[in-house]
């Protein structure tokens, strides 16, 4: 039953890599914004430490997101989600990543659009997201060329994300080393 | 005529000289120590820091609003330092000066969330006290905690911020990490970035809404007591669920003191009256309709047309000071009842002040006006029963040498402070130049190119801004005796007093650079 209801390991790994990309990219981007202030007051080994924690956290965040997508795949009818797991899950992951960015700029947006925090605005924002996911999914089914192009994009994204994954593993090693060194000293 | 020493004569001379030298050292040590101290156990030391408490808003120092009736009354048997200054204008630099006895240009904890240079890891108030002292510390303030973490090796008991909070949102407190400070730094960047954007794309939003929910929940529970919300440890704009009450911190401190082996050194750094100004019910609106502060023109670093908002914020700030004072009063009653003040040196001070004028609010700015650097210093020396006023300028860097002398420790070299006058210890008779340094935007290692410096000497105060775009190489000078509100900038390159102060500051900066 589990095999039938849930995606295969390969599918899961591909989707994980595509989710890892925006989450890690955001993390690196914001780390680089803070870097000048770190350079003012921290040593390189400490900066490497902070970076490592953020990268491992990004990996953990991607895993959590992946779990949610797998659960959705298990709950929704196979024909709707599981059959197209890689494209559907990646689409949701990428679109959600774009959709959440304005929430990080809440203060700036509120300054020019005070209704941003209204329930109605929030509902509309979520509504547009759902409509877009459904709409794009429909287009993929209708035009197989489009889906094929998206799959090619996913494959390329997964390759780039492999680099992130290597960074994540290195980061995990650095965290362990830092904790071990401090604990022993 | 030359005289050659024989080997025997040489050894004899050497023996006599070393005996004389050791006698000299011993006698000089004896004069340093109070007879009373040599015969008894050294006194306990309790250093109580109220974050962002400006002396300008303390009624003990003549503020028209009665913000500190308990402190006013208690000061009848304490030494009140009327012109005391912090080392910096925010927690990191101010606290580090207090704990290291040197100015920010030396300890280099000058940036937000910064730590001092490695040298001070083993050279601070905790490490310099005699071994017999049991050191414990607690703070609500993340920035102060980051510093205490650096000194952890010399603190027998360092509580985490969350230990005394009603609810903690700090994730790393729950993880078994030895690399605590770096992990905390990463958590602040990922989930609780007060000054910029969170690094976690999704979970930061979940964490934020969880904190907001918890904060609302707790505030509902305590709404009767704290109508504006509970005091909380988040010092930025984000909602915080690291809520606490000052009452619980004082309760903990009372229990701690009661059970603690003596002598002890307790460093307790509480966040109120720091923003958010969430005071207890009975103080809300206490200063409505009374005295109002003079309106001052907006500073280059301030915003225009904020006078009304700042005036309201200052009222709320003063109401929070009244809350702090009531809890201080409760602590003092406890200390009195248990006769702790007979053998305890209680120091009440702050890490920096608070600015709510000239279009500027808070202390995250480059200015060094009195509200932000003039901090209270009230010391209850062991067994003191008379009031004493000290009007000479003193600095946060003077606290460490004073406490070390009380503890019977010798003063190490390299200190920039001197023993406080009025402490009945070996107080220095030298004229004290007091400096304050603000250099958040300068590198920890390297020259302080973007910074503000202040020099207080007798009645005059010189402020020097350097490296700020549009406000570079600017000097201000005030006569604090005739113009305590710093309304009239009397700086002029031709003014003899100004030239004298500028030359002294230049010489000092040349020395530290």
Q: pLDDT tens digits, residue range A124-158?
A: 999 999 999 999 999 999 999 999 999 999 999 99
ipTM associated with this complex:
0.93
Return the sign of the alpha-carbon dihedral for residues A78, A84, A86, A90: negative
User: Considering only CB atoms, which chain A residues are within 8 Å of B237?
Assistant: 107
Asked if residues B437 and B103 have their Cβ atoms less than 8 Å apart, the reply is yes
Flag if A50 and B198 touch (Cβ within 8 Å).
Answer: no
Residue entry with tokens 């309760």: B251
Identify the contact set of chain A against chain B, taking CB-CB distances under 8 A: 22-23, 26-27, 30-31, 33-34, 37, 39-42, 46, 49-50, 53-54, 57-58, 61, 64-65, 96-97, 100-101, 103-105, 107, 175, 178-180, 182-183
Amino acid A162: pLDDT: 95
Q: Give the tens place of pLDDT for each residue, A64-99.
A: 999 999 999 999 988 888 899 999 999 999 999 999
3-state secondary structure of B483: coil
**Interchain pair B190, A53: CB under 8 A:** yes
Would you call B444 and A65 a contact, using CB atoms and an 8 Å cutoff? no
Contact B113 A41 (CB under 8 A): yes
Which residue, B287, B269, B322, is CA-closest to B141?
B269
Residue A181 has pLDDT above 90, yes or no: yes
- Residue B81 and residue B394 in contact, taking contact as beta carbons nearer than 8 Å: yes
**Contact in structure between A55 and A171 (CB atoms under 8 Å):** yes
pLDDT of residue B342: 94
Mean pLDDT, rounded, for A163-178 = 96
B200 CB near a chain A CB, below 8 Å? Answer: yes
Which of A52, A90, A59 minimizes the C-alpha distance to A175? A52
- CA–CA dist B500, A156 (Å, integer): 69
Is residue B474 a contact partner of residue B464, using CB atoms and an 8 Å limit?
yes
At B193 the pLDDT is 77
Residue B478's beta-bridge partner residues?
B461
User: Which positions in chain A touch B441 (Cβ < 8 Å)?
Assistant: 40
Quick check: B189 contacting A, CB < 8 Å? yes
Length of chain A: 185
Cβ neighbours for B436, distance < 8 A, ≥ 6 positions apart = B85, B86, B87, B88, B89, B368, B373, B395, B453, B454, B456
Which residue in chain B has the smallest CA separation from A177? B179
CB under 8 Å to B510, separation ≥6 — which residues? none
Interface size between A and B, measured as CB pairs under 8 A: 98
B320-350 as b/e: b if 16+ CB within 10 A: bbbbbbbbbbbbbebbeeeebbeebbbbbbb
DSSP labels, B39-98: HSPPPEEEEEEETT--GGG-GGGT-SS---HHHHHHGGGSEEEEEEE-SSSSHHHHHHHH
pTM across the whole model? 0.86
Q: Give residue B468's pLDDT.
A: 97
Is residue B464 within 8 Å of residue B505, measured between CB atoms? yes
Any A CB within 8 A of B185 CB: yes
Q: What residues in A contact B198, CB-CB < 8 Å?
A: 30, 104
Q: State the pLDDT at residue B435.
A: 98
Yes or no: say if B388 and B327 are a contact pair by the CB < 8 Å rule.
no
Rounded Cα gap, residues B374 and B376, in angstroms: 7
Strand partners, B310: none
Sequential DSSP letters for B371-423: HHHB--EEEE-TT--S-EEEEEEEEGGGHHHHHHHHTTPPPPTT----PPTTS
pLDDT of residue A106: 86
Choose from A41, A64, A109, A178 for mutation: most chain B CBs within 10 A. A41
Q: What percent of chain B has pLDDT over 90?
A: 78
Below-50 pLDDT ranges, chain B: 1-39, 235-237
Residues of B in contact with A103 (CB under 8 A): 205
Instruction: For B199, name the nearest residue in chain A, comparing CA atoms only.
Output: A27
In chain B, what are the helix, strand and coil shares in percent, each to the nearest 5?
40, 15, 45
B203 in contact with chain A, both atoms CB, cutoff 8 A: yes
Rounding to the nearest 10 degrees, give the CA dihedral for residues B460, B461, B462, B468: -160
Report yes or no: B179 at the A interface, CB cutoff 8 Å.
yes
Chain B hits for A178, Cβ within 8 Å: 178-179, 182
């Amino acid at each position: 039953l589990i095999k039938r209801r849930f995606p295969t390991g390969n599918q899961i790994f591909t989707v994980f890599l595509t989710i890892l990309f925006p989450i890690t990219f955001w993390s690196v981007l914001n780390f680089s914004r803070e870097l000048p202030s770190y350079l003012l007051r921290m040593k390189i080994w400490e900066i490497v430490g902070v970076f490592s924690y953020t990268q491992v956290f990004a990996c953990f965040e991607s895993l959590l997101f992946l779990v949610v997508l797998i659960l959705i795949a298990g709950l929704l009818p196979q024909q709707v989600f599981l059959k197209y797991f890689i494209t559907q899950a990646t689409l949701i992951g990428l679109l959600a990543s774009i959709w959440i960015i304005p929430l990080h700029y809440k203060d700036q947006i509120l300054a020019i659009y005070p209704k941003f925090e209204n329930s109605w605005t929030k509902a509309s924002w979520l509504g547009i997201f759902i409509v877009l996911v459904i709409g794009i999914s429909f287009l993929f089914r209708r035009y197989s060329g489009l889906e094929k192009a998206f799959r090619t994009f996913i494959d390329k994204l997964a390759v780039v994300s492999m680099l992130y994954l290597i960074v994540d593993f290195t980061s995990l090693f650095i965290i362990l080393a830092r904790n071990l060194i401090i604990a022993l000293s | 005529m030359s005289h050659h020493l024989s080997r025997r004569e040489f050894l004899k001379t050497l023996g006599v000289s070393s005996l004389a030298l050791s006698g000299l050292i011993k006698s000089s040590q004896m004069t340093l120590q109070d007879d009373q101290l040599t015969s008894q156990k050294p006194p306990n030391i309790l250093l109580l820091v109220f974050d962002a408490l400006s002396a300008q808003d303390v009624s003990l120092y003549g503020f028209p609003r009665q913000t500190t009736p308990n402190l006013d009354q208690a000061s009848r048997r304490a030494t009140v330092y009327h012109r005391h200054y912090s080392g910096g204008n925010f927690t990191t630099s101010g606290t580090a000066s207090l704990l290291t006895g040197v100015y920010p240009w030396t300890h280099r904890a000058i940036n937000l969330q910064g730590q001092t240079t490695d040298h001070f890891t083993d050279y601070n108030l905790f490490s310099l006290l005699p071994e017999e002292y049991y050191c414990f510390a607690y703070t609500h303030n993340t920035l102060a905690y980051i510093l205490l973490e650096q000194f952890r090796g010399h603190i027998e008991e360092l509580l985490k911020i969350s230990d005394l909070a009603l609810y903690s949102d700090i994730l790393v407190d729950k993880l078994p990490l030895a690399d605590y400070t770096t992990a905390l730094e990463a958590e602040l960047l990922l989930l609780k970035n007060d000054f910029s954007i969170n690094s976690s794309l999704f979970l930061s939003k979940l964490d934020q809404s969880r904190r907001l929910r918890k904060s609302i929940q707790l505030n509902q529970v305590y709404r009767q007591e704290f109508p504006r919300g509970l005091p909380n440890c988040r010092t930025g704009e984000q909602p915080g669920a690291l809520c606490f009450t000052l009452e619980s911190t004082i309760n903990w401190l009372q229990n701690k003191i009661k059970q603690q082996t003596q002598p002890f050194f307790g460093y307790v750094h509480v966040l109120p009256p720091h923003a958010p100004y969430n005071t207890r019910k009975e103080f809300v609106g206490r200063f409505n309709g009374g005295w109002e502060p003079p309106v001052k023109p907006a500073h280059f670093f301030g915003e225009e047309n904020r006078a009304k908002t700042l005036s309201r914020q200052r009222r709320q700030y003063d109401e929070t000071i009244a809350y702090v004072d009531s809890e201080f009063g409760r602590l003092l009653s406890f200390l009195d009842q248990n006769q702790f003040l007979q053998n305890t040196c209680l120091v009440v001070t702050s890490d920096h002040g608070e600015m709510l004028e000239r279009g500027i609010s808070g202390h995250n700015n480059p200015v060094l006006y009195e509200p932000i650097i003039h901090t209270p210093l009230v010391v209850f020396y062991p067994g003191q029963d008379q009031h004493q006023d000290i009007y000479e300028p003193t600095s946060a860097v003077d606290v460490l040498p004073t406490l070390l002398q009380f503890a019977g420790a010798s003063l190490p070299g390299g200190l920039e402070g001197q023993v406080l006058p009025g402490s009945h210890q070996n107080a220095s008779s030298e004229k004290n130049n007091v400096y304050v340094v603000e250099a958040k935007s300068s590198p920890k290692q390297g020259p302080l190119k973007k910074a503000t410096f202040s020099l207080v000497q007798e009645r005059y105060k010189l402020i020097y801004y350097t490296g700020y775009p549009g406000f570079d190489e600017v000097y201000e000078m005030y006569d604090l005796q005739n113009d305590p509100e710093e309304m009239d900038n009397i700086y002029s390159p031709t003014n003899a007093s100004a030239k004298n102060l500028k030359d002294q500051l230049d010489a000092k900066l040349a020395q530290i650079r």
